[in-house]
Amino acid sequence: MTIVQVREIARKRGIRTARMAKADLVKAELPGLKKEEIEVNLTEDTLTISGEKKKERKVEKKDYYRMERSYGSFARSVPLPPGVHTEKARAQFRDGVLEIRIPGAEEVGKKARKVAVE
């Protein structure tokens, strides 16, 4: 899978990706969630961001009592380009934005090898 294909899949899932000099950068906007409600999982070729939001609201007045609960979960998986070092990935969550940096191989796809002609 090429980096262009990876970016297109990520964009369709609401996740932005960028290839930088020494790392791949993945950003996901997750407004209203707390750090504890987010989970990031990496395999060799896939990044999965998941989470669950729970909200409970009570209103107690003289004449009535109202309680609202809402729950929602999500999961987004994005394929990773070849050559990334998932074991060195770092994630940071700030102001509703999850930012994941995954170091990549410096020369992905640039290695040449000699092929014998028979």
Per-domain residue ranges of the chain: 3-103
Burial annotation 29-40 (CB, 10 A radius, 16+ → b, else e): ebeebeeeebeb
Closest CA to 97 of 39, 33, 50, 37: 33
Q: Hey, what CATH topology would domain 3-103 get?
A: Immunoglobulin-like (2.60.40)
What does the pLDDT look like over 14-71, one tens digit per residue? 677 777 767 778 888 888 888 888 888 888 888 888 888 888 889 998 889 999 988 8
| Token code pair at residue 68 | 């609202």
For the entire predicted model, the pTM comes to: 0.69
